[in-house]
Amino acid sequence: MDLPNTTSFITGAAQGIGLGIARAIAREGGRLAIADIDDAALGEAAAELAELTEVAAFHLDVRDREAYARVADEAEARLGPVMVLCNNAGLAFPERPADMTYELWDLALDINLGGVVNGVQTFLPRMLRRGGPAHIVNTASAAGLIGAGVGPMYTSSKFAVVGLSESLRHQLETAGHPVGVTVLCPGGVASNIARSSRSLVASQHGGPELRRAQDRIDQLMPRIDAAVARFGVPTDTVGDLVIRAVRANDLYVLTDRAGIDLVTARTRAILSAMPETGPVEGDLDNVRAAVHEP
């Protein structure tokens, strides 16, 4: 779909990948509703983007469903119907099996997965009622494609976003709805997600587990900053890739080829685990048709 004169709603838009996407949409002539939990960064982003297009900025914790609905209503009242939704808000923190707690699991899943669910549940019904072209972009991660190198909490949340996106796209296409779905799986990106994640973790009124997570981020942040500065893809480049995918209605956006060996090995392992006999694709198509028939 084309973006000029459309309204896009972007979470986690004050910095990093979200701001890169917002800049790309602004350059295309689209209006912007940007949302973030960091008010200071949000104000700076809004001031920058206002030089390019019409912008409305909203404080939003994507875990708060009632607040999400209120912000959505206000955004559409000010800028018109949202046709592009970018569920980008997320956090990442280094984790080891010994560090995993229920508190950290809840935080990772509530934001990385729950924030996407809340965005879809808030805006998709509106898109379907209107019936016109629309698009949803969900930010996952390369860690949503390969279960190696990153901890289980982050990885499982991102695998879930990939699965949600694939399934939702299939369902919408099958039903004939003109709503596209793209899942963004960034690898190394020159963003400050470690710093923003630290701020978010620090803002939680939790126990010693959250304090340990904060200390762990502090310990690793210099190495993370050095790595992304040297190897990371610029966030504006990621924004341009997302715009290209929305135009073409592509399912996947990847930012580099760094994980190609791991993705290939995982795919081969899955294929080799399949039995030599049993239902084939045509049989499964018949099952799916029976399940989803009117």
Active site residues: 154
DSSP reduced 3-state for 88: coil
Q: Which of 44, 138, 41, 122 is nearest to 88 (CA)?
A: 138
DSSP reduced 3-state for 204: coil
The torsion angles phi and psi of 33, rounded to 5 degrees, stand at -110, 110
Q: Which helix (H) or strand (E) holds 106?
A: helix 102-112
DSSP string, 210-279: HHHHHHHHHHHHHHHHHHHHHHPBPHHHHHHHHHHHHHHT-SEEES-STTHHHHHHHHHHHHHHS-SSS-
Q: Which of 40, 45, 35 is nearest to 76 (CA)?
A: 35
In contact, 204 and 101? CB cutoff 8 Å: no
DSSP reduced 3-state for 61: coil
The CA distances from residue 41 to 48, 83, 192, in Å, are 11, 25, 12
The size of the chain, in residues, is 294
Token pair, residue 239, equals 């924004």
DSSP reduced 3-state for 124: helix
In the block, residue with structure tokens 């990621």:
238
